[in-house]
Structure 1
Amino acid sequence: MPIRFVHCRAQVKLPGMGYVTSLFARKMVAAAGSGVDASMLLAEAGIDPDGPWEPKVMIPAATYYDMLERIAAQIDVTALPVRTGASMRLDEYGALGLAFKAATTLGASYARVERYARLWTSVVEYELRPDPRGTLFILHRPGDRRLGMRLSNEATLASALAIARQVCPVPVAPLEVRVQHPAPERVDAHEDWFGCPLQFDADLDALLFSPETLEQPNILGDEGISSYLVSHLDVELSQIAGDTPLVSQTKDAIAQSLSEGAPKMTEIARRLGLSARSFHRRLSEHGMSFQTLTEDTRRDLAEGLLRDERHSLAEIAFLTGFSEQSAFTRAFKRWAGTTPASYRKLRRQP
């Protein structure tokens, strides 16, 4: 019986089902080499082996994990995630790749990933989190840590470093790599690629970067181009996400409570007449998290207020839920790759 190709694009995702870009599947199969039947693996995953490498063509995450486990049954996959991650190129990510390049610093580039990752996956969220030694770039992927997911997580961390090395003018290595699952039998390929200590059986899947590394200016960083590309990405994000009534109501509730400080999920859920558990589940069905919505609302509100000259930076910091203007400035620079004052100045220009 011939295999029927079914392409699931981001715009037609089904509620409750996670998707990843077919680009990742193609990269994994290519990195597996001659030890596997590439055409059959892709076809079984619903991907046309002879079709274009289009990041917006999506496949279910479970299908992707199944494919990785079939590869593992045929070849040694110990180093496969590292080879796959190292092969990723920013030019393959479309507008997101361009925005990553155009961000003014490496930290701002990673902030693009944190905000716009949903353009290529609905099963992973990224977070930049302060750490005593610097900043953690965290990969959040819920679900059973089956072999396919473990291989995917390792490849994702490796690719996050690969794209950083493509924009930074100096060699980039994290201070540490943290992986939640147990170590494979050999980690020499991982150590060679990351160039830093690896901690398996950790509490997070993350790369830890020093402040100096994330403050490095990007080779092609440009505030004007970056702002234009971010606007383009916002349009793409709105097309795949769409503000459902629940999402819109949540954003409104968050915005109304920000002047009292950072809102808590339990408080917002109560305002909407939902239990915290039900609220979390319903947001997850739309590929959203409370943290993401809070960040998006804060950023959207900040950008709107900055376009109004009547508000001082201190007032905007207060209205967006920050206790200090310095904290607001750091957060905004992470979101937009520039300071609030520079953003306001740029908006004054014709």
Structure 2
Amino acid sequence: MKPTHLQPFSNRHPLGDISVLHISVLLRAAEAEGVNAQELARHFQLSPQTLTSAEARISIPRFMRLGHAAIQACGNATLGLRIGALTRPVDVGLPGIAGECASTAGNAIQTLIHYSLLTSRNSRGTPTTAPEKRLVQFYSIQPYNAFNYFVVDSVLSAWTQFLRTVSGQWDVLEKVCIEYPSTGMDELYEAWFRCPVQFGAATNSIAVRQDIWSQTTLQAQPAMHEKLLLLCETELRDIQRGWTTGDRVKSLLTPLFRGETPSLETIASKLGVTPWTLQRQLASENTGFRELMDDTRKQLARDYIRETETSLSEIAWLLGFSNPAALHKAYRRWFEISPGEHRKQFRASP
């Protein structure tokens, strides 16, 4: 069997997956809050063999349910911050180790973000950096609910902790922006990040201080950094090896669905080809743009219904349908059952 991270894109979970390296940190944080981590892992069928395999991944919905269960068990709604505080460079895999020996903190965080696909893949998007603004952004995962607040918290706090580790400084940020609305704990967040935190913002992001961005890292080692970057590049190529043009189209569609239907021209532009070339490449794979779009929506709709508590109106928006009625009609065409009835069936099954 191939390692999980080498599986073809089409065989992986439509909503995305995440390395058990991140799961181990979540379980450590839960245990630090008094939760029986072994029992929690067993409940989610995470064996010791799985948790000690660097290649193993679980689906994003399963990760969110695991985090939600941990929060319910310990009663700490800000468990995501605890996860970030306990995250070490090694806990984000090869990109973390490579980033740790980069020349500057700015280069370190850019390395971490550039190779994030090595440890996580989310259909919602990919994290990005804007070096000229010293900004690191996490894509939107709205609509927000009790199952995904902690994801934003854990990502932004883990990035912050990474910068603290590589720089040896505690005050590393100018500002934090969080998309979801305030939960009434603004002072706690500002105390943890040690800078202003804006809730209800347009993006999820951290702005790094100028002096920190350019600061030499504690473990700077140019030769080793270069060697580790080559390993990261090799793994990244391995992940993407075998992806068809159709796989690449499907990977781009989901983040663009929100409230609209992406056009062939938009996807072709993102792939750096003309619409005609894209159509020809897809035809050579015995598929087409409309077929891929319908298939992607079908896969995602089923997983939103089965794996999440997201409302039908929100799912309709996430899949680019004009209204819930359009989703309802498409869902019946795909599965010969209404989305509401299908969700009841899923809930009734073990």
Pair in the same fold by TM > 0.5: yes
Residue type of the alignment partner of 1:268: V
RMSD: 3.3
- 1:129 maps to a residue whose letter is A
Number of the residue aligned with 2:126: 125
For 1:1-350, what aligned pairs fall within 5 Å after superposition?
Answer: 9-12=4-7, 14-15=11-12, 16-33=14-31, 35-49=34-48, 52-123=51-122, 125-129=126-130, 134-142=133-141, 144-246=143-245, 264-265=269-270, 268=273, 270-274=275-279
- Overall identity of the aligned pairs, in %: 16
Q: Secondary structure at the match of 1:59?
A: strand
Partner of 1:302: none
Offset, 1:153: 1.2
Deviations 1:127-158 (A, max 9, x none): 11256xx3210011546433222211111100
Contact (CA 8 Å) 1:43, 1:49: kept in 2 or not?
no
Q: CA deviation at 1:249?
A: 9.3
Q: Distance in 1 between matches of 2:210 and 2:246?
A: 34
The 2-side partners of 1:249 and 1:43 are apart by: 35
AA of the residue aligned to 1:106: A
Deviation at 1:9, TM superposition (A): 2.8
Rate the CA distance shift 1:103–1:25 in 2: closer, same or farther, 3 A.
same
- SS of corresponding position for 2:115: helix
Residues 37 and 57 of structure 1: is their aligned pair in 2 closer, same or farther, counting only changes over 3 Å? same
> How far has the Cα of 1:268 moved from its partner?
3.0
Determine the C-alpha separation between the residues in 2 that align with 1:241 and 1:126: 17
Query: 3-state DSSP class of the match of 1:30?
Result: helix
Give the Å deviation of 1:267.
Answer: 6.8
Deviations along 1:6-58, whole A, 9 cap, x unmatched? x9832336242410112222322322236433223212333114765444321
Structure 1 197/122 Cα, relative in aligned 2: closer, same or farther at 3 Å?
same
Say whether the 8 Å CA contact 1:8–1:58 is kept in structure 2.
no
Structure 1 residues 25 and 248 mapped into 2: Cα distance closer, same or farther (>3 Å)? closer
- Contact kept, 8 Å, 2:104 with 2:220, in 1: the verdict is yes
Q: Which runs of 5+ in 2 are unaligned?
A: 250-267, 283-288, 298-350
Q: 1:79·1:189 contact (CA, 8 Å) conserved in 2?
A: no
Q: Is the 8 A contact 1:64 1:148 kept in 2?
A: no
What number of residue pairs does the alignment pair up?
264
Check conservation: 2:80, 2:151, Cα contact below 8 A.
yes
Q: Aligned partners of 1:249 and 1:71: how far apart in 2? A: 34
User: Counterpart of 1:265 in structure 2: which amino acid?
Assistant: K
Distance 1:105 1:279, change over 3 A: farther
Distance 1:241 1:225, change over 3 A: same
SS at match of 1:73: helix
Structure 2 vs 1, CA of residues 114 and 138 (structure 1 numbering), >3 Å: closer, same or farther? Answer: same
The 1:24–1:177 alpha-carbon spacing in structure 2 relative to 1, beyond 3 Å, is same
Q: Deviation per CA, 1:157-212, whole angstroms, max 9, x where unpaired?
A: 00001111111144442110001011223234322221000001111010012333
Q: TM-score, normalised on structure 1?
A: 0.66
Secondary structure of the residue that 2:18 maps to in structure 1?
strand
User: Alpha-carbon deviation of 1:214?
Assistant: 1.0
Task: Summarize the Cα distance change of 1:59–1:8 in structure 2 as closer, same or farther, 3 Å threshold.
Answer: farther
Provide structure 1 residue ranges, at least 5 long, that are not aligned to the other structure: 1-6, 251-262, 286-350
Structure-2 separation of matches of 1:232 and 1:25: 23
Aligned partner of residue 136 in structure 2, secondary structure: strand
